[in-house]
Structure 1
Amino acid sequence: MKTQIVQVASITPPKPVLKWAGGKQQMLDILLPNAPKKYNKYIEPFFGGGALFFALLPEKAIIADSNPEIINLYRCLSENVEDVISILKTMPYSKEDYYEIRATNPDTLTPMQQAARTIYLNKTCFNGLYRVNKKGQFNVPFGKQKNPNYCDEQNLRAASEALKNAEIVLGDYKDVLGRYAELGDLIFLDPPYLPISEYADFKRYTKEQFYEEDHHELAQEVKRLHELGCHVLLTNSNHPLVYELYDEFKISVYPTRRSINSKGSKRKGEDVLVKVEPKKQIFVVPEKIQLSPQVSLYPSTRYMGSKQNLLEYILGVAEQFKFETVLDLFSGSGVVSYLFKAHNKQVISNDYMAFSACITKALVENNNTTLNERDLAILLDTNVLTDNLVSETFKGLYFEDEDNQFIDIIRTNLSRLRDQYKRALAQASLVRACLKKRPRGIFTYTGYRYDDGRRDLTLSLKEQFLEAVEQMNLAVFDNGKANKSRHGDAMECKQKADLVYMDPPYFSPLSDNEYVRRYHFVEGLVRDWKGVEMQWHTKTKKFKSYPTPFSSRNGAYEAFDILFKRYKDSILIVSYSSNSLPTKDEMIGLMTKYKENVEVVAVDHRYSFGNQGHKVEDNNNLVKEYLFVGY
């Protein structure tokens, strides 16, 4: 089944076309917050006035009713609203005109004329009711309104646009739900209310009555939809039978006003909302999701494997679940941690690379601190005695002498900043300056043989640093959560969270995954080259890489098994590549040992998504990014 995120159409939300006895316009402030943010399609089989449909404006919908006059009306509005408007404009309003139009046999009219007559009678009769005599003829009396607006052209056109996204069906609710309801759909049920004696004749704009046994059948259908994996919202009166039929679901009571009783004292009532969550967790393949504007302030990096271009889809997957805390176990560039912080989650960020942990210390854990002019004056103070570690060790390798000397000055002055977040911001800014100043942003080679003349390479390291400080300061914000940056081995991390995101080093026989080899210089910079084993014989003056289980196939397999078991009670989202090992099928096998549901979202180099295997494999791209989702 192809799924989608339902998006709101870019039209003005219309009001219901019909005045509706028992309509849900007055309950929209209750219904809308209870509707899920994401669903596959919207189905309303007791459509009537369609207040919720017109408020939601779903991109895909099935709307149905058993009354052919109602269905004819909505089909005509969808297909040719201008004809309906033209006919309504010719229809005069008076008591005599009303009874003459009411007496007209609908079978003698065209579909458009029937649609106009339905609107006219609804807007000009008493309280918008529907009642027929034994011959099936409409017999509601004249409403005595002074100036009824039965031809609201703007609203009719807006309704027409909304209806174009719906399949309009004439039929019994059970037939409609049996034919159309699928996993992930949102079903809104507004049946004739209980008690039967009060509402059977006129609760709905329908010629058919709804008895107590019908409510029992409806309850069985709701339970079927629950098992199927649908979201269901059901309204009814505050009647004991409702509690009996839906006792396993959430029931809320709300005061409402009835418009169907001539006595004002009897117009007050209580409606209930039955909210049914799907029994099966629904997974919707993300196509696009709007990010918080705060995310765009994150300073870009040239970090290998950064998920900067996948953020909309990572968030699209994550937001399908209820969670408050996130553990980003292999934070890397830190952009995913920052993403979740920007979307008001409490974030625990972890990485075995010190420079990665430094970045998240500055921008994820830090909520308020920035570097000011006084701090910069301290950092840029040249009247200090440096150890010349960078100037001497890396002379002629990566940067000019002046740039190396600048790094040594910043290193020396860092200890003069007493605040831990100021130091983290300064170090993170220096790391970013070094990465941007290097062609390709890595330290696996010496010299400037990849110099392409871009601006980043023409700036001095000091200029890069000052620009980085400005961007880092702009990116600092407080999401009101106690976020944490951890520097340590993921395999030893014991932190817990509702959702765990993993973007580990990818093991592949085609390439290495040694982040230390690529970033040894900035890693050493943050560590101040303490606690590392320098390999002085190498041209790049790198230090020995940290041990990681992800450097071999067996090690990666065992590591994933350990991590999946450790976080079996959390929602899991794992980024991995199609040319890496374990394979996709092996990863699914590993995850299904600990998670009941596993989904795979594949991303090609154009970042388009699909979770259906045949569509993934038919894609001509050689390498894809996978998001494995376990829940």
Structure 2
Amino acid sequence: MDNTARTLSYIQAKPILKWAGGKTQMLNDLLPKVPSSYGRYIEPFFGGGALFFALRPENAIIADSNPELVNMYRQVANNLDDVIDYLKKYKNTSEMFYQVRALEWTELPPAEAAARTIYLNRTCFNGLYRVNRKGQFNVPYGKYVNPKICDEENLHAVSKALQKAEIVCGDYLLVLEHYAKPGDFIFLDPPYLPISEYSDFKRYTKEQFYEEDHVELAKMVMRLHEMGCSVVLTNSNHPLVHELYSPFKIDVIQTKRHISCNGKSRKGEDVIVTVPPKHKTLMKLAPQPLPQQVSCYPPTRFMGSKSKLLSQIWAIASQFEFETAVDLFSGSGIVGYMFKAQGKSVISNDYMAMSATFTKAMIENSHVTLSEREAKELLAKKKESDHFVATTFKDLYYTDAENELIDILRTNIAGIKDSYKRAIAMTALIRACTKKRPRGIFTYTGNRYNDGRKDLQKSLEQQFLEAVEAVNAAVFDNGMSCLSKHGDAMELRADKADLVYMDPPYYSPLSDNEYVRRYHFVEGLARDWKGVEIQEHTQTKKFKSYPTPFSTRKGAADAFDKLFKKFANSILIVSYSSNSLPTQDEMLEIMARYKKHVEVIPVDYKYSFGNQGEAKTHRNSVQEYLFVGY
């Protein structure tokens, strides 16, 4: 967000409370310190929120330990009309002020309590918020001639900004420990030094913030720095602040103190401490427009497909100069196809035969298509098939007629001499079979998940012909040499790989990463069940999953170490989930063994297939980490 946008946002929404120690007067100094891009905005000493309203971030965590303040912001965000109705009833009179001040906010409806907070703030002396030891508001009436108690226009702008934030009531340490992630921007405006009975914090809560608390805060700032967060902190120009934050840039700013009744003491010096992430993030995650060609890739419901993350992946990759890209675990093939659409020479690899078939047809292939006539001829019986599907999978996934057609297609496809036409036809058959299956997977038999969608009503023949047409439309020549490989990532030879993208199976003790279990039938089609042994005792007639080091925590960590070492001379971009292992810190440490610069960029993401998907959980709403090594 540039400075012009920030200025505009500030005009649109400004703090709704007069706040001792508020940062409105420092915005011109603070805004240039804000990183140009970041994950989430986090402000755990929220107070008046001047910087937040100036930035109006799209994704924010705002917090305060004052429950009355937090209630006010939550109500303005979610129940503004009622708050405004209550505000309109208040008058700027001493009688009403003391009558409202005497009310216990916790006994009022939340919206009325919020309006009370705003009203008292706008009409009390100097806009203070001071409570006694019992937590009762005790600031006297301010005697202002015409305070603006209900600024509806600004309240609506503030409400809109707050709706994009999660509003939390809690201690700053707990908030930061729970929410802060690499790439986030944290603004810290703690109670200022020196500590005294007039310190800001004591005005707003029954608690106290001592010098040892500032030491603890400085330790947290260092942890945030090590984690890869950007931090900006404000405080008074006090020797302890300079001592605690000596490793970082400290700017001294001339400010005014609005609380002091002594005019000579209203001038002061604040400091702004700027803490960059230890691994400086040069990556910008602003969504990048993708070539129209990318939209030609037939959509899939493939588990873990990164179709929704293409803009973010390209936003990172595009910041490097490279000619050859390796998609090491191609899966659905969409990332490799995106690189091809960007004019790169692509090597696409996967241990799944079906994935290699997709990329053979649409990434390695640059000009061959399968005509409608040729596709229709594949539907006609030319010679007797082995009836393998009809016999082995009878009454499991498809009707007898559909099983017979699949066997006919298998037999005819095997007889196609041109390898690209054969890949197109097999890709179309795999696509037709998955689209004819409710949920597109083979972990169950029958049709109990049939939701009546249009794909399930189409015939298998129609699905096949439409799939051929879709795959044909995805074929194009980018003028570069592209290859499709079917094999173990550990054994892939790609000596001139400028950039390697990895999207391996994610290991988690809460869910499995067995692609074969979900797609064994179509994987069997792709390899004609050669080299596998069907487990006859299983209801689904699956075959044993391929061995993978990513099935245990230690195995995954060792595999990453070997892969990072193998491609130590390439730019590395790795997708991994926040609910998977190794942890982000472990991944950074492993990558740092082989790369001088290592970064992690978190991206909010929702998986199509989550653990216990039908249950009302949030386990499939996670952050996708993009680890970058260069």
Please report the TM-score for the alignment, with normalisation by the length of structure 1: 0.53
Q: 1:488: which partner in 2?
A: 487
2:295 is equivalent to residue 284 of structure 1? no
Hey, what does 1:549 align to over in structure 2? Answer: 549
Quote the residue 1:232 is aligned against.
none
The separation in 2 between residues aligned to 1:6 and 1:442, in whole angstroms, is 50
5 Å matches for 1:568-579? 568-579=568-579
Over the aligned positions, Cα root-mean-square deviation in angstroms equals 2.4
User: Within 5 A, what are the aligned runs for 1:221-240?
Assistant: none
Local SS of the residue matching 1:605 = strand
Structure 1 runs, 4 residues or longer, greater than 2 Å off: 3-7, 619-622
Query: Partner letter of residue 503 of structure 2?
Result: D
Distance of aligned partners of 1:380 and 1:290 in 2 relative to their CA distance in 1, 3 Å threshold:
same
What's the offset of the Cα at 1:428?
Answer: 0.4
CA–CA distance in 1 between the matches of 2:620 and 2:505? 21
Q: Partner residue of 1:80? A: none
Where 2:622 maps in the other structure, the secondary structure is coil
For 1:504, the equivalent position in structure 2 comes to 504
Q: Which whole-Å CA distance do the structure 1 matches of 2:334 and 2:3 have between them? A: 24
Give the equivalent residue in structure 1 for 2:320: 321
> Which residue identity lines up with residue 408 of structure 1 in the other structure?
D
Q: For residues 420 and 606 of structure 2, what CA distance do their matches in structure 1 show?
A: 37
Q: Which amino acid letter does the alignment assign opposite residue 480 of structure 1?
A: G
**How many residue pairs end up in the alignment?**
350
Aligned letter for 1:629?
Answer: V
Percentage of identical aligned residues: 62
Separation in 2, partners of 1:382, 1:508: 46
* In 2: Cα distance, 1:382 partner to 1:606 partner: 44
What is the CA distance between 1:620 and its match in structure 2?
11
- Kindly report which structure 2 residues correspond to 1:142-541, keeping only aligned pairs within 5 A, or say none: 283-496=282-495, 497-541=497-541
Question: Hey, what's the Cα distance between the residues in 2 that align with 1:307 and 1:6?
Answer: 34
User: What's the TM-score, normalizing by structure 2?
Assistant: 0.54
Match of 2:167 in 1: none
Are the aligned partners of 1:578 and 1:626 in contact in 2 as well (CA < 8 Å)? yes
**Partners of 2:376 and 2:465 within 8 A in 1:** no
Does structure 1 retain, via aligned residues, the 8 Å contact 2:372–2:465?
no
- Measured after TM superposition, the shift of residue 285 of structure 1 is 2.3
1:606 deviation in Å?
Answer: 6.5
More divergent stretch after superposition (469-478 vs 414-423): 414-423
- 1:453-493 CA-to-partner distances (Å, cap 9, x unmatched) read 10011111111111101100001000011100000011111
Give deviations 1:125-146, integer Å, cap 9, x for gaps.
Answer: xxxxxxxxxxxxxxxxxxxxxx
TM-fit CA distance, 1:605: 2.7
SS in 1 for 2:326: strand
Distance 1:477 1:289 in 2: 22
Matches of 1:377 and 1:297 in 2, distance apart?
A: 22
The Cα of 1:40 is off from its aligned counterpart by 5.4
Contact 2:280–2:599 under 8 Å retained in 1: no
Give the 3 Å change call, closer, same or farther, for CA 348–552 of structure 1 in structure 2.
Answer: same
Counterpart of 1:489, as a letter, is D
Secondary structure at 1:604 match in 2: strand
SS in 2 for 1:623: strand
Partner secondary structure for residue 625 of structure 2: strand
Instruction: Report if the CA contact (8 A) 1:604-1:621 is conserved.
Output: no
1:507-554 Cα offsets, whole Å, 9 max, x none, are: 000011111111100010011111101101110000111100001111
Largest Rg, 1 or 2: 1
Q: Which amino acid aligns with 1:516?
A: V
Please say which of residues 367-376 and 574-583 is displaced more in the overlay: 367-376
Give, in whole Å, the separation in 1 of the partners of 2:283 and 2:544: 44
Tell me if structure 1 keeps the 8 A contact 2:349–2:486.
yes
Task: State the alpha-carbon separation in 2 of the partners of residues 6 and 594 from structure 1.
Answer: 41
Residues in 1 aligned to 2:459 and 2:417: alpha-carbon distance in whole angstroms: 27
What does the per-residue CA deviation read over 1:138-185, in whole Å, with 9 as the maximum and x for residues that have no partner?
Answer: xxxxxxxxxxxxxxxxxxxxxxxxxxxxxxxxxxxxxxxxxxxxxxxx
What code does the residue aligned with 1:597 have?
Answer: H
Contiguous gaps of at least 5 residues in structure 2: 6-34, 38-278, 608-617
Provide the C-alpha distance between the structure 1 equivalents of 2:628 and 2:451, rounded to a whole number of angstroms: 40
**Contact map agreement 2:606 2:621 (CA 8 A) in 1:** no
Q: SS at the partner of 2:469? A: helix
CA contact (8 A) 1:40 1:284 kept: no
Q: Is 1:586 matched up with 2:586?
A: yes
Tell me if the contact between 2:285 and 2:316 (Cα under 8 Å) persists in the aligned partners. yes
Deviation of the 1:316 alpha carbon: 0.4
Tell me by how many angstroms 1:597 deviates.
1.1
1:113-128 to 2 correspondences below 5 Å: none
* Partner Cα distance (2:280, 2:476) in 1: 34
